[in-house]
A and B are shown apart, each in its own frame.
Chain A
């Protein structure tokens, strides 16, 4: 049985806590928690924050985790937002890793069938296991968010499951480190090399016109660092004197940068031409960073984004890569480009320019002169006033389908009978229309700039990225998948299910039950109309009296709980997190 544990590393906690405290001090927040009662009696310059209501804690956890639990809510109320965040960012990545999870599964599968091999399903199981139970919830959410920017997909035949699992682990390990490290580790990961087709990428052959593969050069700029248009720190496009947006790069930048991504290929302890082309692979090649093969690295001059690497007599793959990644990392666009997307993944689809600017400013400088401090950035995203206080009619975001399912697992304490969280691929539009590390292309399940046609949001020129996965089939698919899960569990053999102990215990009182689902699923914001509907529906299920057995009573209470949960989770107001 694979159980999630957290290992706290002391030194790192102190280091990160220090950086965070500094950042907090500069932004004027008090470093401590709240809880109830009187604050510090001494310094009059420090404001004691008001106690955090359970509903606000639940709302915060909806943004920062895969779903609030009672103990999470209490923890946030006791510690305060900043302290909870710093505890989370300091926590070491939980175990088992996705790689060890899938390897353990493979061993079990082979015990039954010696010819068994891993499929994407086992990776998905590792995802649900962590989402539902891991204590480092913020890191789990960050992994998902990063995997939607630095996209790699198991839909691609060349992506192997162990490799994908190690890729996701890498995003987790780096989640609260520095963005420059993320960029380096992503670029050198063999699964990105395969997905963006630059593994074994060769330099130009000037005689035939053979040119290096340009795929990663383009997409690392377009999707993962600087984007298409020059940006101000508030995310708005810079305009030229004619009022037109200014491109960040052109085709020559792509071809120039493509020269850098040559000569990278599979790890081997004894690299040869053969291993460069993917033969005689080391058994760990798909989970080990790629290495440079200097003889296949371009020595031509390379120009991109204003940087020029002169032609050289000897190939310098490491040096060229450093210049390229430094250039991308330090480009002024990267701060707003990445900050806005993180806000979109955690809080709201249409952040105000001021919100973007506040977060981008922290990306650019965490307060100690460090650029790219991801712990500081996520703190900025989640503690910002625009995150803590809900906005108006166009504020918020559609909950991602996998997050909705994980919400159900986590909030209602779902258990896996096998311990292996046997829920595989959910990408079908009759399922959830999304599965982690299973996007259709490097453009993710949805574009950050997607503005849904024929909608009120679209009519206001607003974006709603997750709406790209919403259509007449997917809405019914979600509702039906949810119904099955709520009713009897989900996954192979209904492996993952909940007994709804708390909710059943309240079910004899329809108002208490409805208040409970309101608190946990909607952080107290359920509309009175939905509230009344649920109360009425629940009351229509009679709790038998008289000579009824306990079993009959319990069955009725359980039905009431299921109905209240289902009605809430299928309601339009649940579908949008605000």
Chain B
């Protein structure tokens, strides 16, 4: 595909984001010539990938403490109700639907934990400190039974677990929380505000995310191609918005950008001049009397300006030959279905593969999986979602291990995020909004096979027990999102002073680099 002179001028008019792609010759040919050599010649390339679990993932069932004290409190809180959500102890065999569990005495169905087998044990390479309030001398841990691929990644050393992380302004004890004597983030427990807090450090209405702001600082290393700095196959996310960096939306299709059909042909409705006229009017931001119309035209402009280049870049070379995700089988129903998260990871991997050819050194990505807001019927939905997360992470790891012959895993760090954890006790078949949670970090540069942060004491205050790590049904975070994000930012190349600017509350916490990557 060739860029016409007019297109190139249009690009330049829009500033740095749209400067010409440096092509003297046809763009596609230039990319093909670079191919795998380009992949290997970009040792400074780095990408951050945010995988947002929308709705508030019940991490209490994702990363578990399996020492008998913790497990006992977990069991009594969750092995109750109309549809108990307590997972089975380590070592429990899966039983077929219709059989009676020797652990619970209940008859299993495909959608009960008895059918899934016990939680999968993981042994961190350094013991996680034992928190006050538990009787254990050491802590042992497990993962959801459908997290086999995550267990493998953990054991391989490329995946780390971040324990008890959440939005905080300052370190907050239980007493301070109850007394409201510490500053707290706005609207804890509100989906949209906490999603915004996680992504942008402020409640809904924020327009700058920390991914975008980090990318702002790195934009100069992307030269003329900063357009491709922040990419989302998942919808609008404030995480990616910076002062200068603007997110670009793609789909998970083979040609990820969507072209306007009306402007590409030689005529429209019998008019040979219409395509060009329409192409111009779509992008005419400057003439608009109304700011929203001008803003809409700007989105048209970005769409039109980059669509061709994105499709060309992502269908060439290693980017264009990435293996499709494996079939996803729903572990509850047995039916095959699409793993939307895996498709997003492939789109991201394709962008990573294309980046060197585009001269892009730093990228931030946003992927997401929905429906984690499991107020009811958690057993029927969360396991399927976690299985998709596990497959997507493993698939992403595999894709990046061989991009045109190069292993790019140490250059890409993916991390999960979610607006909050969920209540420790059940409401019968599900859980409600809570706070401190556990997350996963994956990449070749990750110092994995370890649990970072402090895995909390578990159990609600019942029968005289006073859990210093929980208030009501929510775990109080002992690591802030700022620390989590700053650690990722430091790896990404952001200096300490800039990190303090992006995360103004970071100075309240110690350490500000958690060391997992």
- Residues on A lying within 8 angstroms of B by beta carbon are 158, 196-197, 200-202, 205, 208-215, 218, 222, 228, 247, 251, 254-255, 277, 349, 393-398, 429-430, 440-441, 443, 447, 449-458, 460, 462-464, 467-468, 470-477, 479-480, 483, 487, 527, 529-530, 533, 536-538, 540-541, 556, 559-560, 562-563, 566-567, 570-573, 575-576, 578
Contacts and interface: CB of A to CB of B under 8 A. Distances in A.
A559 B274 CA distance: 12
26 contacts: A200-B82, A201-B427, A210-B81, A213-B427, A214-B375, A214-B432, A215-B375, A215-B376, A441-B191, A453-B208, A454-B246, A454-B247, A456-B291, A460-B291, A467-B295, A468-B236, A471-B247, A471-B249, A472-B248, A472-B299, A476-B259, A537-B278, A540-B272, A570-B278, A572-B296, A576-B292
A479 B307 contact: no
Interface string B426-446: 111010110000000000000
A546 to B, nearest CB: 17
Contacts of B285: 572
Interface in B260-293: 260-262, 268-274, 277-278, 280-282, 284-285, 287-293
B284 A473 contact: no
A454 B288 CA distance: 17
B292 A396 contact: yes
A290 B460 CA distance: 33
Given A453-B247, A468-B236, A476-B257, 9 more contacts: A208-B77, A209-B424, A210-B428, A215-B376, A228-B187, A443-B192, A454-B247, A471-B247, A570-B281
B394 interface: no
Contacts of B209: 453
B207 A208 contact: no
A211 B249 contact: no
Contacts of A562: 269
Contacts of A458: 207
Interface string B200-226: 000011011100100000000000000
A126 B277 CA distance: 37
B271 A472 contact: no
A567 B460 CA distance: 62
Given A530-B281, A563-B268, A211 B287 contact: no
A467 B298 CA distance: 12
Given A453-B207, A483-B262, A213 B271 contact: no
Q: For this complex, into which size category does the number of interface residues on chain B fall?
A: 35 or more
Contacts of B307: 472, 476
B428 A395 contact: no
Contacts of A541: 269-271
Interface in B413-431: 423-428, 430
Given A449-B205, A529-B284, A570-B278, A197 B290 contact: no
B189 A536 contact: no
Given A210-B427, A472-B257, A464 B432 contact: no
A541 B268 CA distance: 10
B271 to A, nearest CB: 4
Contacts of A559: 269-271
A573 B287 CA distance: 10
Contacts of A472: 248-250, 257-258, 299, 302-303, 306-307
A214 B425 CA distance: 12
Nearest to A565: B269
A197 B271 contact: no
B473 interface: yes
B80 A480 contact: no
A391 to B, nearest CB: 10
Interface string B168-205: 00000000000000000001111111000000000011
A476 B258 contact: yes
A402 B376 CA distance: 31
B375 A213 contact: yes
Contacts of A527: 287, 289
Given A211-B423, A540-B273, A563-B274, A464 B428 contact: no
Contacts of A255: 472
A211 B425 contact: yes
B330 interface: no
Of residues A470, A473, A480, A537, which shows the largest number of chain B Cβ atoms within 10 Å of its Cβ?
A: A473
B241 interface: yes
Describe B's contact surface by its main secondary structure: loop
Contacts of A205: 80-81
B235 interface: yes
A447 B426 contact: no
A240 to B, nearest CB: 13
Nearest to B212: A453
B294 interface: yes
Contacts of B370: 440-441
Of residues A394, A429, A454, A480, which shows the largest number of chain B Cβ atoms within 10 Å of its Cβ?
A: A454
Nearest to A466: B292
B481 interface: no
Nearest to A455: B295
B51 to A, nearest CB: 17
Contacts of A457: 291-292, 295
A456 B423 CA distance: 40
B166 interface: no
A474 B425 contact: no
A441 B299 contact: no
Contacts of A560: 269
Nearest to B272: A540
B370 to A, nearest CB: 6
A468 B287 CA distance: 23
A316 to B, nearest CB: 22
A210 B292 contact: no
B55 interface: yes
B498 interface: no
Contacts of A454: 207, 241, 246-247
Given A443-B192, A562-B269, A573-B293, A218 B430 contact: no
Contact of B376 (A197, A228, A540): A197
Contact of B472 (A200, A251, A447, A455): A251
B233 to A, nearest CB: 9
Nearest to A393: B291
Contacts of A201: 427-428
Contacts of B482: none
Contacts of B294: 456, 572
A567 B277 contact: yes
A205 B370 CA distance: 30
Of residues A197, A205, A349, A463, which shows the largest number of chain B Cβ atoms within 10 Å of its Cβ?
A: A197
B76 interface: yes
Contact of B250 (A455, A473, A483): A473
Contacts of B296: 398, 470, 475, 572, 575-576
B300 A540 contact: no
Interface in B381-440: 423-428, 430, 432-433
Nearest to A252: B472
A205 B294 CA distance: 56
Nearest to B233: A473
B238 interface: yes
A551 B294 CA distance: 41
B278 A567 contact: yes
A441 B189 CA distance: 16
A567 B259 CA distance: 17
B462 interface: yes
A537 B289 CA distance: 23
Contacts of B155: none
Contact of A475 (B277, B281, B300): B300
Contacts of A222: 190
A69 to B, nearest CB: 24
B373 A563 contact: no
Given A214-B432, A575-B296, A197 B289 contact: no
Of residues B80, B241, B249, which shows the largest number of chain A Cβ atoms within 10 Å of its Cβ?
A: B249
A47 B284 CA distance: 43
Contacts of B277: 533, 536-537, 567
